[in-house]
């Protein structure tokens, strides 16, 4: 696909526009929902913590099942229904507030429902993009989509704060609800229609067998297994660092809230830069080395932080968070594109669901470990551990086929790699290669 071809792809532009709006809406709710709990309903740290946990838990419980459903049903329709459900759930908050009937239990139910629907949306969405743009367009598509996510990270929370200041936190949630409406409209307007999923030969596999097939595809091929192991360990370290660096900035760095906000804004800009340069870096140094370098660079960013003092904390944190942002953004684009490239379309939902469960689970685990470890050995030492985990996660990439990759492979390439490592018997694809772990 020629560079920039997706600018002339009307359906991708509709998807991209809808997701950009929805990403900003998500960041508004990320600020507004806890604010409703604390300010409107007079909750505390526990209530805010429960709302935060409800963002992660649905991925752990429903990720594999969402993947199984995505491989069976129309992904576009699943996304539309998920958007409609999230619209209704979030719109109920300002409605209940206006009637004086809003309770903490209501807020918990909405957060849980939105979390579950988000899992089904995200898994279907990641499985739908390859069918929409073709495997040749994945890097350009994921770069553009990551650019939107990164921009929302930088500006979305500020927009949420502004809306809360103007409208109040309960009404600010309505902005996120409307973003899901616009996302659903963009999906309805798309003309692309998916091919029907192939009917299984013989008896339909049981749900358990379908789940096992997806997990086998994820862990049975060396390339995917190495990427998942690296991502799981790296995300654990990155989440530890993200939980700790804010505490370090205030306690050891002596920064003011305004200075911390500035440093993290620079870090957010790193995510945008990473999305903009990901494909160019991969072309310049080859894909494998570009992927392998990302967790090392992010790890160095966290390893440097404990050496900062009050006189260097502001500039040092800005630089290190920028480095972490660039590295994480590039890594996300490359890994997502690789998983989508080498996985057969009929397995992509289950593979995406399994991968998402691992990623979100490791992020939740990292946040908890970071807080506990910081209290036991101190925040600077815990930051060293987080950086070391990120650097160590690159070992999975160095020891296998990832670092040797020059370009984006296909499903047949991954299947061939698995065959060469495991057996002399011919196997036609990732699906077949995934039946046994080498």
Residue 152 CA to residue 130 CA, distance in Å, equals 23
pLDDT digits (tens, 9 = 90+) for 364-399: 888 888 888 888 898 899 999 999 999 999 999 998
Q: Is 300 contained in some domain?
A: yes
Would you say residue 143 lies in a domain? no
Dist CA 121 CA 352 (whole Å): 12
Which residues constitute the domain of residue 182? 1-137+155-189
Give Cα separations from 341 to 32, 127, 177, 336, 351 (angstroms). 37, 11, 33, 8, 12
| Confidence category of residue 331, pLDDT binned at 50, 70, 90 | very high
363: its two tokens? 């992020």
Same domain, yes or no: 262 and 391: yes
Q: Alpha helices of 99-221 — where are they, by DSSP H?
A: 104-133, 138-167, 169-188, 207-219
pLDDT on residue 437? 33
b/e map 102-112, b = 16+ CB within 10 Å? bebeebeebbb
Q: How confident is the model at residue 187 (pLDDT cuts 50, 70, 90)?
A: very high
159: pLDDT strictly greater than 90: no
Mean pLDDT confidence for 239-256: 85
Domain match, 161 and 75 both? yes
| Domains: count for the chain | 2
Are residues 247 and 107 part of one domain?
no
Residues 369 and 232 both lie in one domain: yes
Within this chain, do residues 164 and 265 fall inside the same structural domain, yes or no? no
Query: What's the confidence (pLDDT) of residue 163?
Result: 82
**Same domain assignment for residues 276 and 405:** yes
Q: How confident is the model at residue 16 (pLDDT cuts 50, 70, 90)?
A: very high
Does some domain include residue 65? yes
d(CA 312, CA 187): 48
Of 339, 329, 361, the residue nearest 146 (C-alpha): 329
Whether 194 is in a domain gets the answer no
Q: Is residue 144 part of a domain?
A: no
Backbone angles phi, psi at 221, to 5 degrees: -105, 130
The reported pLDDT for the residue numbered 201 is: 54
Please, are residues 203 and 74 in contact by the beta-carbon 8 Å criterion?
no
Contact 387, 303 (CB under 8 A): yes
Identify the DSSP state of 100. T
Say what percent of the chain tops pLDDT 70. 88
Q: Is residue 67 assigned to a domain? A: yes
298 and 401 assigned to the same domain: yes
Q: Nearest to residue 393, comparing CAs of 218, 241, 221, 213?
A: 241
Q: Which of 78-82, 110-114, 430-434 has the lowest mean pLDDT?
A: 430-434
Burial of 58 (0-12, 13-18, 19+ CB in 10 A): buried
Quote the CA–CA distance of 120 and 64 in Å, as a whole number.
10
Both 214 and 163 in a single domain?
no
Same domain as 240, residue 94: no
Q: Answer yes or no: do 180 and 316 share one domain.
A: no
Residues whose CB falls within 8 Å of the CB of residue 350, separated by 6 or more in sequence, listed in order: 64, 67, 68, 70, 71, 210, 211, 213, 214, 215, 217, 218
Residue whose token pair is 């749900």: 207
Q: Is 316:303 a contact under the CB 8 Å cutoff?
A: no
Alpha-carbon distance of 203 to 180, in angstroms, equals 38
Do 397 and 304 fall within a single domain?
yes
Instruction: Report how many helices (DSSP H) and strands (DSSP E) the chain contains, helices first.
Output: 16, 0
- Domain assignment of residue 145, yes or no: no
Residue 278: CATH number of its domain: 1.20.1250.20
∠ CA 62-68-72, nearest 5°, is 135
Mean pLDDT for all residues in the chain: 82
183 and 304 in a single domain? The answer is no
Q: Decide if 64 is inside a domain.
A: yes
Judged against a pLDDT cut of 50, whether residue 426 lies above it is answered with no
């Amino acid at each position: 696909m020629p560079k920039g071809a997706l600018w002339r792809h009307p359906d991708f532009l509709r998807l991209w526009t809808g997701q950009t709006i929805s990403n900003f809406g998500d960041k508004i709710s990320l600020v507004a929902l806890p604010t409703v709990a604390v300010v409107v309903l007079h909750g505390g740290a526990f209530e805010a913590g429960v709302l935060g946990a409800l963002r992660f838990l649905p991925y752990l419980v429903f990720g594999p099942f969402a993947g199984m459903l995505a491989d069976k049903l129309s992904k576009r329709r699943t996304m539309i229904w998920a958007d409609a459900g999230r619209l209704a759930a979030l719109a109920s908050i300002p409605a209940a507030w206006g009637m004086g009937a809003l309770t903490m239990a209501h807020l918990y139910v909405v957060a849980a429902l939105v979390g579950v629907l988000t899992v089904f949306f995200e898994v279907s969405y990641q499985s739908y993009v390859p069918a929409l743009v073709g495997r040749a367009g994945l890097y350009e598509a994921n770069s553009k989509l990551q650019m939107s996510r990164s921009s929302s990270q930088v500006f979305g929370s500020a927009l949420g704060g502004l809306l809360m200041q103007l409208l109040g936190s309960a009404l600010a949630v309505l902005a996120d609800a409307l973003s899901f409406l616009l996302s659903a409209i963009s999906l309805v307007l798309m003309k692309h229609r998916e091919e029907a999923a192939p009917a299984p030969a013989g008896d339909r596999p049981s749900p358990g067998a379908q789940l096992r097939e997806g997990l086998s595809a994820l862990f049975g091929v060396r390339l995917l297994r190495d990427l998942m192991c690296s991502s799981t360990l790296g995300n654990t370290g990155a989440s530890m660092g993200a939980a700790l660096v804010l505490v370090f900035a205030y306690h050891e760095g002596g920064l003011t809230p305004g200075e911390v906000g500035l440093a993290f804004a620079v870090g957010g800009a790193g995510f945008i830069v990473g999305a903009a340069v990901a494909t160019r870096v991969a072309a310049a140094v080859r894909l494998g080395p570009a992927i392998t370098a990302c967790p090392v660079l992010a790890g160095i960013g966290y390893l440097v932080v404990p050496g900062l003092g009050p006189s260097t904390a502001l500039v040092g944190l800005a630089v290190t968070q920028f480095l972490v942002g660039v590295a994480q953004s590039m890594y996300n684009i490359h890994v997502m594109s690789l998983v989508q490239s080498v996985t057969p379309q009929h397995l992509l939902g289950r593979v995406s669901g399994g991968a998402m469960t691992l990623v979100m689970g490791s992020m939740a685990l990292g946040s908890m470990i970071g807080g506990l470890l910081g209290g036991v050995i101190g925040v600077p030492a815990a930051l060293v551990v987080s950086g070391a985990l990120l650097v160590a996660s690159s070992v999975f990439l160095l020891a296998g086929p990832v670092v040797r990759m020059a370009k984006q492979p296909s499903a047949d390439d991954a299947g061939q790699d698995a065959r060469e490592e495991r057996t002399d018997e011919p196997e036609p694809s990732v699906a077949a290669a995934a039946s046994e772990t080498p």
